[in-house]
Amino acid sequence: MSAIKSETSSRLVKASWHEKAVARGGVVSIALFFAVVCIVFSLATDAFLTTPNLLNIVRQSAPLLIVASAMTFVITTGGIDLSVGSVLALTATLSAVLLQWGVPWPIVVLALLCLGAAVGALQGFFIAYEGIPAFIVTLAGLSVIRGIALLITGGYSIPVDPASGFNMIGRAWFIGMPVPALIAIVVLALAYTAFNETTFGRYVTGVGANAEAVRRAGVNTRLVTLMVYVLTGSAAALAGIILASRLGSGSSNSGQGFELDVIAAVVLGGTSLFGGRGSVVGTILGALTVAVIANGLILAHLSPFLTPIVTGSIILIAIWLNFRLFKGGSRSR
Amino acid sequence: MTDSLPYRVRMTGISKRYHPIQVLDDVSLTLKPGEVLGLVGDNGAGKSTLSKVLSGAIIPDAGSIEIDGEVVSFASPADARAARVEMVYQDLSLCDTVDVAGNLFLGREPRRRIAGLSFLDKARMHAEARAMLDRLGIVIADTRLKVENLSGGQRQSIAIGRAASFDPRVLIMDEPTAALAVAEVEAVLDLIRAVSARGVSVILITHRLQDLFLVCDRIQVMYEGRNVAERHVSETSIEEVVNLIVGRKFAARSAGAAGSTGVPA
């Protein structure tokens, strides 16, 4: 018996650097893609690798980064939130409407963040406590919430008073950085910490891997599931506020297809749609890759309509690489 | 075995009926501290149901359970856990994509407070996980390995180690050695011995009869929802246990065997 044990232990070497890279295959492959895309555009255009342009990329992709970091939690539990684009449109619209009514802008921001959280909690209730698949609940949400936004505006775009302090959120600069970029960095830091360093993040992964096991361990898994939709709802509301502030108007048509960009960024980052496997760092790289492609194609004077083609191809190739090249990192799938 | 000790577990007259089928019919079970009891029987004999009654997952229609002389009634697995009855489920209840230490501490992670906020104390979690594994002689190189990268035996060991770490009075294991390689079966059986040596009473449900003779003190055989026999391992053989399990279905001589158990049908 002791002979068997010692033999087993000698075979169980600690994971090598290469094996660790394979285990994090999703993140490694998107990091490679991100590097390649950055290098290509740096060489192809003069304007790409300049501080103003890089800051501009982060400023423009702030809504995507914010919502994608929250979506990482949802997808890691094995769920999905299709309603984020509609929540973004609703909060963008409502922020313009409330400001027109003369509501002070800090109250508008707080109220809309609470609204986003409430919408997320309602959807989360149906998913976690009533057991309706997340795809169906949030598909209904996508339709209903967009409809409310259209109903409020009648399809028109509502302007925000240019003198309002509200515009600072999307346009101001602070310590040499655009404010949306700073907000995104804070949100990403919070998301990273919550995902990796708290019990909540641990249970999010656990629910995606084996919800029954986490439940048997005495964790309120339904509450964990509900909370991840509160996160995406609040994040989408924050994104809507930033967008309305940056554009100076609230449009009920904003954020169409936004949910798909968000899901693409998360999946590109190596988070598994089956749940149990997620990475906030991967999501950041995924979102930035999507943003860099859009930015770089325009700088290279290529048609902006190439963006969806290139992005879509990279999604497929990156996931294919995860399955093929980095196979072995995960035994189960 | 230590005959003078009081019973750790005494289940008497346990019955459970699922509409047309009497799954358990006046079943009894006794267990002493540190004893390993093998619970065997054919599929549908009621051994899983009986163990679920003790772990609180099934509420019996009749019968009583005493633990250390105290009458208990479990309405849920949480009640059983509060009475320090742990069960290792056949599906192990592990999160594949969480590391070894994370699975051992699932639901009770050590935390540290920074600026009023609660964070995972990963350093302490890994150190305590290492100590926990070493204490039970479980060989796993790195507590940071994800459970999906471990062998079947190692996964089983982690599930048992986690249950044992709750300092249980009774540990129930459902088929812990099914689908394991030979050397891994040995390691798991060693682990069962290590756990029982610490005074934990173990109920082992298994179809692998050879395992029973390696770790059990006593074997209880069930047949169609009833106890049909109880044997000390020193006083029986695999052949006899097989005959008891298949019951009256096959051999005429099993009627004699059943009669000699002293348990009326």
pLDDT of residue B262: 41
- A1·B93 Cβ contact <8 A: no
pLDDT in tens, A240-251: 999 999 998 888
Q: Distance between CA B224 and CA B42 in Å, rounded?
A: 8
pLDDT of A85 over the 90 cut: yes
Give the mean model confidence (pLDDT) for residues A10-14.
49
| Closest-CA distance of chain A to residue B132, Å | 17
Q: Cβ distance A184 to A239 under 8 Å?
A: no
- In angstroms, the first-to-last Cα distance of chain B is 27
Q: Distance between CA B152 and CA B147 in Å, rounded?
A: 10
**Does A13 lie at the interface with B, CB-CB under 8 angstroms?**
yes
CB contacts < 8 A, A to B, total 89
**Does A224 lie at the interface with B, CB-CB under 8 angstroms?**
no
Q: Cβ distance A89 to A158 under 8 Å?
A: no
Exposure string of A259-281, with b = 16+ CB inside 10 Å and e = fewer, is bebbbbbbbbbbbbeebbbbbbb
pLDDT of A318 over the 70 cut: yes
pLDDT in tens, B127-140: 999 998 888 888 88
pLDDT in tens, A36-60: 989 999 998 888 888 889 988 998 8
Q: Cβ distance A64 to A187 under 8 Å?
A: no
pLDDT of residue B90: 82
| Closest-CA distance of chain B to residue A223, Å | 14
Strand B36-41 versus strand B201-205 pairing type = parallel
| Closest-CA distance of chain A to residue B21, Å | 28
- B86, B94, B98: which to substitute to probe chain A, counting the most A Cβ within 10 Å? B98
Report chain A's mean pLDDT, rounded to a whole number: 86
The answer for residues whose C-beta is within 8 angstroms of residue A220's C-beta and 6 or more apart is none
Cβ of A163: how many Cβ atoms within 10 Å?
7
| Closest-CA distance of chain A to residue B148, Å | 7
- B98·A206 Cβ contact <8 A: yes
The answer for residues whose C-beta is within 8 angstroms of residue B181's C-beta and 6 or more apart is B151, B152, B153
Q: Distance between CA A238 and CA A228 in Å, rounded?
A: 15
Write out chain A residues lying below 8 Å of B107, CB-based.
Answer: 214, 217-219
| Range with lowest mean pLDDT among A73-77, A219-223, A327-331, B87-91 | A327-331
Q: Distance between CA A32 and CA A30 in Å, rounded?
A: 5
- B109·A199 Cβ contact <8 A: yes
Q: Distance between CA B215 and CA B37 in Å, rounded?
A: 9
Alpha-carbon separation of residue A241 from A103, B160, B194 (angstroms): 14, 51, 60
Alpha-carbon separation of residue A269 from A22, A27, A126, A225, A322 (angstroms): 14, 6, 28, 21, 11
Cβ of B179: how many Cβ atoms within 10 Å?
11
- In angstroms, the first-to-last Cα distance of chain A is 33
The answer for residues whose C-beta is within 8 angstroms of residue A110's C-beta and 6 or more apart is none
pLDDT of A8 over the 80 cut: no
Topology classification of domain A58-324 = ABC transporter involved in vitamin B12 uptake, BtuC (1.10.3470)
Extract the residue ranges of chain B whose pLDDT is less than 50: 1-2, 251-265
Of A14, A214, A330, the CB nearest to B142: A14
Q: Cβ distance A74 to A229 under 8 Å?
A: yes
Side-chain-side CA neighbours of A230 within 13 Å: the count stands at: 12
pLDDT in tens, A98-135: 998 988 999 999 999 999 999 999 999 999 999 999 99
- A1·B96 Cβ contact <8 A: no
- A218·B149 Cβ contact <8 A: no
What residue ranges define each of the domains in chain B, with the CATH number in brackets?
9-97+166-260 (3.40.50.300)
Q: B194: exposed, middle or buried (C-beta count within 10 Å: 0-12, 13-18, 19+)?
A: middle
pLDDT in tens, A132-180: 999 999 999 999 999 999 999 888 888 888 888 888 888 888 888 888 9
Cβ of B26: how many Cβ atoms within 10 Å?
15
pLDDT of residue A312: 85
pLDDT of A331 over the 80 cut: no
pLDDT in tens, B227-245: 888 888 888 888 888 888 8
**Does A175 lie at the interface with B, CB-CB under 8 angstroms?**
no
pLDDT of residue B258: 44
Write out chain B residues lying below 8 Å of A214, CB-based.
Answer: 95, 106-107
pLDDT of A20 over the 80 cut: no
Output the CA torsion sign for B111, B117, B119, B123: negative
- A214·B187 Cβ contact <8 A: no
pLDDT of residue B264: 43
What are the two backbone dihedrals, phi and then psi, of residue A61, each rounded to the nearest 5 degrees? -95, 5
Exposure string of A10-29, with b = 16+ CB inside 10 Å and e = fewer, is eebeebeeeeebbbbbbbbb
